Amino acid sequence: MLLRFLTLSILFSLTLFAQEFKIKSIDGDIYDINISKSKITLKEFPDKVILLDFFSTTCPPCLKELPELTKLQETFHDSLQIIGIESASKKDDKQMQEFFKKYDLNYPVFGLKESGDLIQYVLENTNWNGALPFKLLYHSRGTLSYQLYGSMTWEKLTGALGDL
């Protein structure tokens, strides 16, 4: 009886604090993201360091760091997966695809329309105040390692990766 109660309590806690999102990228691929305050899993990218990049297509510091993020993804593609999350502009899918091509991004990007619930969850469960750019960096085991505020350079990004 006690074991049953503990099991139900644990399951209830997990569902209370973790949230699952199925989000379509601007390329049309569906990603399963399970996220809590301190952990993330993406079945599409097991055992990889995950960098969630919250940005806007109208944010100059966000645009300035896109080449660094693309270079980071290219350099560490075996162990890192960047996911871009457009968090402010209301561009439609066609405009987002044009943006994606213009900046030659080599990682999945979600538009605001598709990722609104995820953005709201992150706002409510981290120290993020909505200012952009903002990044969440997760260890390859899925645990939250860093919340990164403001524009990032190559040195800052690779420094944050450290031994993750």
Cis peptide before 108 (omega within 30 of 0): no
Per-residue pLDDT of the chain (164 residues; tens, 9 = 90+): 544 443 434 444 444 568 999 999 999 999 999 999 999 999 999 999 999 999 999 999 999 999 999 999 999 999 999 999 999 988 888 888 899 999 999 999 999 989 999 999 999 999 999 999 999 999 999 999 999 999 999 999 999 888 67
The rounded radius of gyration (Å) of the Cα atoms in the chain is 16
Distance (Å, whole) CA 91 – CA 42 = 25
Pair type for strands 49-55 and 80-86: parallel
Residue 22, beta-bridge partner list:
32
Distance (Å, whole) CA 82 – CA 73 = 6
CATH annotation of 19-161: 3.40.30.10
Give the predicted TM-score (pTM) of the model. Answer: 0.87
Cis peptide before 133 (omega within 30 of 0): yes
